[in-house]
């Protein structure tokens, strides 16, 4: 079976056109093989490389159908092989393997490629340096090579694994280097044998390996947690080297699948920045050339016309011609600079750009470090939640058929400001991989509930709530206008009909009020005259007549018994009366102290009785009868 493909891409320079020819067939060893050839015409340099799995030093040029995650699911072993690689003796020689474990490890591609990546360039180390390279197998799955260079050492310790456990393997390499420095290596072999024989631990599971006198312990990382500072070494290095504004530029460039070149004088900083930048694409994965550190011998890959993320040491970058870079986005991790010919950040939907600028502010990132430390990774993830989190709205299912994705329905379900950007995203492999991976899991009956999905559901609920709120608000505004218009009509009708009625009512109240006021003044005049043609203050007061001289105030005696006078009147007051009584300071008027001594001849007058029983203080007066014996 032979599959041939040809693509012609026209470039903007006047030198000519780039032509790429690709061919995939099954090799004589039964392995699928992809061969690609590119010829740059005109004055530009020629680039001709056989990009076959068996011939490309562990780097695989993937085809357009690549759609799966680049990490292998459920690896059987903690690591594949441990290597000690010797440094080249001169510029013409190549690095070589001094020892390996297990000794029968037989993957020739790894054994051939790993030494070149362990010493990607000829530099002197002044400090211990940890870095990581990647190899790609025939299933497009990554193998990670974790390396340790010692100060002035002529060897490199390397562990190859399918697991991206950077901190754990860096720590293990330090422990192995310590064992090699103080022993003959026997304990090293025993410890590696124990680690290789054990199964891959579950997330958050503590693990301890023991080999004779040596022991190594760690806790398996939780893949559901976002990279954080300082727990993630890669993200910490990335944050220290690149500010958040440049992180945003790199992120936007990856969403356009640009050619991105990163350089640094330190291999640890270089590979950490590449790994951290790619991790910000979660839940998507980079589907093109991905080389965290490129050996100098493979420098021709820099001029490859396909999208890539490649890291090179500073000494290698100095040998690259600007013509070979073309329109690549160039990132210098040492000087915190990004050079690009594009305005990819401005092309982002306004909502996404404003979200990232808001949550990538230095104050928010620093405050996050006192807590979870995941402000950077979460900001990028939430941006993708807003951008592609609604993909579920476009999933179509009919009984007896597989679940499919409807791009048009997805576009229509997104805000208008995002639709143009998303239309362009449909052509990107990172988005196609994301959708196809989700569809494969759903059609296989597998559920998934990673952090992205949970946040997408929460965001969708908020959007629905906001939509309902806006709908209700608009309805209420329309309803309010109708009510307001109706109220004006009702009020006008009310004024027209109620005018005469209100006028008559007012005139009636005035007339009745005058009559009532006149009668009230007549009653008051009679009360003042006391029924005898004299005013009340002209009548001698019986209280003043019979009251004895007031004694001087006695000294207070705490043992004195206070008793109520026999004729005192006690009323039970409600709570409102009690409060009002407490707030009113009544004057000490002697005329109010002895109601039972008021002349009964006045109380028997009908007009006075009627006035008293209508007053507010009638409850304080005694009920008298004609046969009473009171004076």
**pLDDT value of position 20:** 39
Cβ atoms of 611 and 527 within 8 Å: the answer is yes
Cα 236 to Cα 229: distance, rounded to the nearest angstrom:
5
**pLDDT value of position 137:** 85
Mean pLDDT value of segment 103-125: 92
The two structure tokens encoding residue 288:
């093109």
Cα 516 to Cα 512: distance, rounded to the nearest angstrom:
6
The two structure tokens encoding residue 365:
């990132």
Q: How many CA atoms, within 13 angstroms, populate the side-chain half-sphere of residue 598?
A: 12
Give SS3 for 309: strand
Across the chain, mean pLDDT equals 76
Cβ atoms of 590 and 596 within 8 Å: the answer is no
**pLDDT value of position 287:** 93
Residues 561-579: pLDDT tens digits? 444 444 444 444 444 444 4
Angle subtended at Cα 614 by Cα 610 and Cα 618, rounded to the nearest 5 degrees = 100
Cα 628 to Cα 47: distance, rounded to the nearest angstrom:
133
Distances (CA, A) of 443 to 71, 432, 437: 20, 16, 10
**pLDDT value of position 186:** 74
Residue corresponding to tokens 């001094």: 98
If one compares 411 and 581, the residue with the highest pLDDT of the two is 411
pLDDT band per the 50, 70, 90 thresholds, residue 152: confident
pLDDT band per the 50, 70, 90 thresholds, residue 126: confident
- pLDDT > 50? residue 304: yes
If one compares 543 and 172, the residue with the highest pLDDT of the two is 172
**pLDDT value of position 145:** 98
**pLDDT value of position 316:** 95
Distances (CA, A) of 85 to 157, 311, 404: 6, 21, 49
Per the DSSP assignment, residues forming a β-bridge with 2 are 25
**pLDDT value of position 34:** 41
The two structure tokens encoding residue 71:
């990490």
Residues 36-63: pLDDT tens digits? 443 333 333 334 343 433 344 455 443 3
Residues 388-425: pLDDT tens digits? 999 988 999 888 889 999 999 999 988 999 999 999 99
Residue 504 burial (CB count, 10 A): 10
Cα 378 to Cα 384: distance, rounded to the nearest angstrom:
10
Residue corresponding to tokens 């220290």: 240
Cα 57 to Cα 112: distance, rounded to the nearest angstrom:
7
Residues 459-498: pLDDT tens digits? 887 665 455 434 434 554 555 555 455 556 665 665 565 5
Q: How many CA atoms, within 13 angstroms, populate the side-chain half-sphere of residue 569?
A: 14
**pLDDT value of position 77:** 94
The two structure tokens encoding residue 540:
């001698």
Residues 217-245: pLDDT tens digits? 999 999 889 999 999 999 999 999 999 99
- pLDDT > 80? residue 155: yes
Kind of pairing between the strands at 337-339 and 395-396: unpaired
Cβ atoms of 111 and 135 within 8 Å: the answer is no
Cα 257 to Cα 430: distance, rounded to the nearest angstrom:
8
Kind of pairing between the strands at 337-339 and 96-101: unpaired
**pLDDT value of position 185:** 73
The two structure tokens encoding residue 486:
């109706």
Cα 400 to Cα 300: distance, rounded to the nearest angstrom:
50
Give SS3 for 500: helix
The two structure tokens encoding residue 396:
């179509």
Backbone Cα Rg of the chain: 47
- pLDDT > 60? residue 81: yes
**pLDDT value of position 569:** 42
Residue 222's Cβ-count burial label (10 Å; 0-12, 13-18, 19+) is exposed
Cβ atoms of 113 and 57 within 8 Å: the answer is yes
Mean pLDDT value of segment 513-518: 60
Element (H, E) at 581: helix 575-583
Cβ atoms of 610 and 559 within 8 Å: the answer is no
Cα 393 from chain centre: 22
**Range scoring the smallest mean pLDDT among 109-123, 125-139, 267-281, 592-606:** 592-606
Examine residue 536 and say whether the peptide bond preceding it is cis (omega within 30 degrees of 0): no
The two structure tokens encoding residue 252:
């936007």
> Where on the phi/psi map is residue 530: left (φ > 0), alpha (ψ -120 to 50), or beta?
left
pLDDT band per the 50, 70, 90 thresholds, residue 348: very high
Mean pLDDT value of segment 368-396: 94
Domain spanning 81-219, CATH architecture:
2-Layer Sandwich (3.30)
The two structure tokens encoding residue 429:
């492999």
If one compares 484 and 270, the residue with the highest pLDDT of the two is 270
**pLDDT value of position 611:** 56
**pLDDT value of position 481:** 52
Mean pLDDT value of segment 364-392: 94
Give Dmax over CA atoms of the chain in angstroms. Answer: 143
Cβ atoms of 144 and 161 within 8 Å: the answer is yes
Cα 460 to Cα 392: distance, rounded to the nearest angstrom:
10
Q: What are phi and psi of 465, to 5 degrees?
A: -65, -40
**pLDDT value of position 590:** 44
Residue 585's Cβ-count burial label (10 Å; 0-12, 13-18, 19+) is exposed
Torsion, Cα 370 372 376 379, to 10 degrees, reads: -120
Alpha helix stretches (DSSP H) within 446-551: 451-529, 542-546
- Taking CB atoms within 8 Å and a gap of at least 24, the contacts of 428-431 are 428/255, 428/256, 428/257, 429/64, 429/66, 429/67, 429/257, 429/287, 429/288, 430/254, 430/255, 430/257, 430/281, 430/284, 430/285, 430/286, 430/287, 431/284, 431/388
The two structure tokens encoding residue 464:
């629905």
Residues 307-331: pLDDT tens digits? 999 999 999 999 998 888 999 999 9
pLDDT band per the 50, 70, 90 thresholds, residue 69: confident
Cβ atoms of 106 and 242 within 8 Å: the answer is no
**pLDDT value of position 444:** 87
Cβ atoms of 151 and 129 within 8 Å: the answer is no
**pLDDT value of position 624:** 46
If one compares 589 and 376, the residue with the highest pLDDT of the two is 376
Among residues 49, 23, 22, the alpha carbon closest in space to that of 297 is found at 49
Cβ atoms of 124 and 116 within 8 Å: the answer is no
Percent of the chain topping pLDDT 70: 62
């Amino acid at each position: 079976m032979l599959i041939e493909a040809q693509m012609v891409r026209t470039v903007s320079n006047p030198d000519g056109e780039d032509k790429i020819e690709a061919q995939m067939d099954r090799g004589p060893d039964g392995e699928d093989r992809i061969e690609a050839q590119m010829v740059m015409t005109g004055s530009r340099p020629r680039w001709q490389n056989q990009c076959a799995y068996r011939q490309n030093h562990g780097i695989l040029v993937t085809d357009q159908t690549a759609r799966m995650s680049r990490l292998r699911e459920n690896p059987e072993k903690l690591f594949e092989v441990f290597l000690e690689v010797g440094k080249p003796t001169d510029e013409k020689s190549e690095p070589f393997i001094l020892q390996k474990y297990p000794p029968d490890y037989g993957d020739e591609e790894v054994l051939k490629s790993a030494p070149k990546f362990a010493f990607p360039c000829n530099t002197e180390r002044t400090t211990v340096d940890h870095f990581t390279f990647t190899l790609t197998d025939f299933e497009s799955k990554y193998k990670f090579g974790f390396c340790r260079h010692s100060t002035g050492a002529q060897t490199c310790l390397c562990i190859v694994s399918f697991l991206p456990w950077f901190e754990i393997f860096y720590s293990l390499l330090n422990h192995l280097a310590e064992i090699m420095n103080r022993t003959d290596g026997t304990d090293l072999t025993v410890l590696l044998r124990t680690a290789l024989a054990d199964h891959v631990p579950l997330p958050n599971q503590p693990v301890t390996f023991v080999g004779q006198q040596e022991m190594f312990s760690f806790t398996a990382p939780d893949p559901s947690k976002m990279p954080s500072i300082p727990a993630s070494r890669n993200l910490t290095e990335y944050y220290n080297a690149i500010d958040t504004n440049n992180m945003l530029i790199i992120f936007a460039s990856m969403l356009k699948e640009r050619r991105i070149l990163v350089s640094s004088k330190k291999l640890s900083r270089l590979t950490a920045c590449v790994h951290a930048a790619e991790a910000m694409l979660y839940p998507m994965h980079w589907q093109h050339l991905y080389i965290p550190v490129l050996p100098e011998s493979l420098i021709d890959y820099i001029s490859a016309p396909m999208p890539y993320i490649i890291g090179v040491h500073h000494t290698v970058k100095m040998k690259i011609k600007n013509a070979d870079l073309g329109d690549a986005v160039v990132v210098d991790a040492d000087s915190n600079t990004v050079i690009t010919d594009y305005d990819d950040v401005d092309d982002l939907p306004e909502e996404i750009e404003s979200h990232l600028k808001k949550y990538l502010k230095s104050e928010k990132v620093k405050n996050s470090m006192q807590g979870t430390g995941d402000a950077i990774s979460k900001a990028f993830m939430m941006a993708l939640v807003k951008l592609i989190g609604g993909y579920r709205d476009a999933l179509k299912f009919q009984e007896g058929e597989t679940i499919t994705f409807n791009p048009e329905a997805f576009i229509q379900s997104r805000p208008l400001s995002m639709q143009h950007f998303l239309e362009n995203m449909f052509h990107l492999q990172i988005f196609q991989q994301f959708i196809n991976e989700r569809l494969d899991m759903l059609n296989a009956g597998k559920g998934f509930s990673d952090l992205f999905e949970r946040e997408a559901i929460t965001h969708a609920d908020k959007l629905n709530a906001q939509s309902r709120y806006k709908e209700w608000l608009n309805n209420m505004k329309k309803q309010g206008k109708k009510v307001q218009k109706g109220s004006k009509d009702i009020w006008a009708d009310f004024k027209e009909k109620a005018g005469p009625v209100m006028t008559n009512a007012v005139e009636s109240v005035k007339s009745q009020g005058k009559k009532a006021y006149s009668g009230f003044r007549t009653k008051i005049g009679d009360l003042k005259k006391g029924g005898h043609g004299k005013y009340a203050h002209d009548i001698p007061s019986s209280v003043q007549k019979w009251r004895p001289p007031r004694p001087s105030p006695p000294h207070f005696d705490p043992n004195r018994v206070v008793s109520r006078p026999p004729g005192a009147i006690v009323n039970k007051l409600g709570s409102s009366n009690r409060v009002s009584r407490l707030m009113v300071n009544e004057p000490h008027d002697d005329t109010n102290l002895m109601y039972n001594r008021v002349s009964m001849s006045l109380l028997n007058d009908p007009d006075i009785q009627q006035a008293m029983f209508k007053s507010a203080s009638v409850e304080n007066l005694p009920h008298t009868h004609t046969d009473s014996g009171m004076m």
